[in-house]
Amino acid sequence: MKKYLSKTEFKEYLAITIGAIIMSLGIGVFLVDAKVVPGGVSGIGMAIYYLTEGAIPVGLSVWMLNIPLYIWGVKVLGKRFGYRTFYGFSVNAFFIDFFRGDIPGFNSIRLQDSVTVQNLLANDFLFMILIGAALLGIGLGIVFKFQGTTGGTDIIAAIMHKKHHVKQGMAILVLDVVVVIIAGFAIEYTSVSTDKPTLLLVLYALFLGVVSARIIDIIIDGFDYARQAYIVSDKSNEIAKKIMSDLSRGATAIKTRGLYKDIDREMITTIVTLRELGHLTELIKTIDPDAFVVINNVHEVLGEGFRRRI
């Protein structure tokens, strides 16, 4: 076992820490008291919190539930769910209770009791759920992007995939829906106080899952900030020269054969920013109005002329 982390590994663990803390904010501050439950082990932890009327803190439940899952995952899947998984769910669990003031010595923190959060809870419930979903999605997205995981249903889904060939995405979806339903029963049949119907809270929870999942995708893949164009034209050389001179972008010629006319010619491909796309299409139209152009979204470009995403 390595004694020290490399510089890259240190940055990855730092990112996982930041992501887990952001995720903890979304759960502990915005979702627990709203009684809108995310899927996974965090949702089960919230259900236990409601069933015990707050006697067992959410973060503690999350951590304790993750321990047997972690051991199971390491046993079945090996090192795939190693140190980073344990670190990820431990940081997440600790800060859920830290922000809620459930860690001994930090009882006065209780961010969920702040004027802003209480005002949102009373007067702008939907916006409060959106903030929680955004924080949850951003946090998880950062954790995933830097090769981390927060354990929970990810481990169960991976084991189901290995043993029963169940698709992981479908397994996670089913598990999350089951967790939301269980939490709904916990809210309905306990003395948990809420001014909203349980079914409405369940629907909010499903909405939360959709929003956070989309944000996770955006964090991992990035916003579309560039376009790749494929250009088929009899004037490909002239178009390529204009792209390089007017847009200062590289262009690559690919030898192709059109099957309809059985003609060999070069297809030009280039990548431009969104701001340059209009200029590119106008340039092509001016040189060859009959050019065939296909434009695709690009999430990330590495190389000269484009900055790397975080």
Q: What is the dihedral of CA 257, 259, 263, 265, to 10 degrees?
A: -30
Average pLDDT over residues 208-221: 80
Tell me which of 192, 221, 250 is where a domain ends. 221
Tell me, what CATH number does 281's domain have?
A: 3.30.70.120
Domain, as residue range, for 292: 226-298
Query: How many domains does the structure of the chain reveal?
Result: 2
Average pLDDT over residues 62-76: 87
- Domain presence at residue 306: no
- Domain presence at residue 185: yes
Q: Are residues 125 and 46 in the same domain?
A: yes
Q: Are residues 105 and 244 in the same domain?
A: no
Q: Are residues 144 and 239 in the same domain?
A: no
Residue predicted with more confidence, 70 or 95:
95
Residue predicted with more confidence, 21 or 301:
21
- Domain presence at residue 1: no
3-state secondary structure of 10: helix
List, for residues 248-270, the tens digit of each pLDDT value. Answer: 888 999 999 888 888 888 899 99
Tell me which of 181, 200, 221 is where a domain ends. 221
CA atoms within 13 A on the CB side of 112: 23
Strand bridging mode 292-298 / 226-232 = antiparallel
Check residue 168 and report its DSSP letter: H
Q: What is the DSSP string of 103-145?
A: STT-TT--GGGSHHHHHHHHH-HHHHHHHHHHHHHHHHHHHHH
| Look-up of token digits 């339903």 | 181
Residues in a beta bridge with 294: 230
Are 226 and 309 within 8 A, CB to CB? no
Which residue type, as a one-letter code, is found at position 80?
R
